Chains A and B, each alone.
Chain A
């Protein structure tokens, strides 16, 4: 089932067997077959280090943070705030208070759309997104535009699933208030030229929000180098727990934004006459947060940094190339999203067969893929398809698993014809 590959001998050796052993779920069976998990784009599996950290939190450390003088509360506050620092360092944010813990990418985007929209968007203004956005980076802006009578502008993509940069340049206007764009497409795998996009927007004094949900698991992100104004991602897609995410915002922007949700934890003093709010980031973190989520996320980031992104990227790229080559020769199979610059995500359709049917047969073989529109219905409309089958690969996948996928597809084709 597995093959051993040593990519870098200077750092820790990238031993796929050792890595797979870190992920307990990968040894389970599904429908009597060894699980082949090719749905990391939906949610990634968790290494035992993360699982252990969560167990330790509940069995040894549980207390509320920022609340009490007792020992447990003080200890866990320190651990939680250290987790924030881990995130800061991981994405190279300038300040730790630029890291806001949220429930996930979706909440991070909603937070910005709501607060930025309240203060900076008026009737006739424009918000620029792209045709390849996840619904979570469409709907908050669409709703804002409806509320404010603003206009949602959409940068089209070409048949390879790449942004048409000339159209992007044309659509940037004096009315554009913010650009919201994905770093990596969850459906097509396309990695957008985000640095260039930010620099073009900044030349027009327009801030940029980046949906980084699909890039954070695959590449080292440096928010200062990108010069992103806002960068959002989810813990569960980067091998951490569900229900925790991050909103990075440049200090000057976060200070300008009005409150989002308010309540416990967001204040300095409260009276019925006047409330004085806390400073960032706590001003944006109402209520008791997902404490184990924040801690688990930091452990997950430590885990992948220990493997090293140079190893991860090289290995995933090799997997992507291998899968693309093997799938391309399957008769009637068409890959949707053929950009040269791709993350390890492969969406495909098969002539005259509904993606759902393929998904059901693959499931019987223990192979987990995603089928459907992947929360990107505009992309499906663009390509005129009901949905795709998507195999999204992580560094714990192997070439053997890709071979099994190809065999499974061949079997499905035989049954469904």
Chain B
């Protein structure tokens, strides 16, 4: 049975007369402890999909279910990691994580609380910066704090909304490895949004492409059968990786072409007019 499920989900914005359907007829089922990457172009409604999964938004049609239970509101069991960190700027690294932990584990003693927070700060290797404020940290460090905060809540599902897209390539690689390491240590169900095919192939068990918006929906998925642990150095020459990358990329590009063709009518009839003469009379 599916662990996390979306069934015939549609959502749109705007008044009934000029309504924009963002997502239409989305069906997805994620098994327990599966790592699913949703890949799509920008503006295709990826973040809306994540909001649906984390319960921040409710679908207009259809249902989002976790273990058969309908998700109606956000909560710490659906660990959402936001694209732009969403750290509270007046709290230190420790304070940000502590706020979340205090809220989720209300029965913790002071000592337990501190141990728990410190463990997760350690996990993202930020112990030396634990009393710094977010504005004193680099983008990568902030994203790590955000990750630690999400993980410290020990959610049943991790919902990662383009967690690494705001980072430079090097920091990104480091954090990718870190997320995989943590996931392998402590298996969870993960749904990650990304726009990077390599990243998806490196991290996920399955890639689900999101078609171009509006009225985006999920296309057929690509199972990633590459063996773990995946080594980014040797992956580039792995024939299976190359093939998958080709398939996914071609699919995405094809979709992009289709969408463009759909949007702009290329068969506009030009009026049949010709200049009669160029010479003045």
* Binding partners A and B: no
A binding-site residues for B, Cβ under 8 Å: none
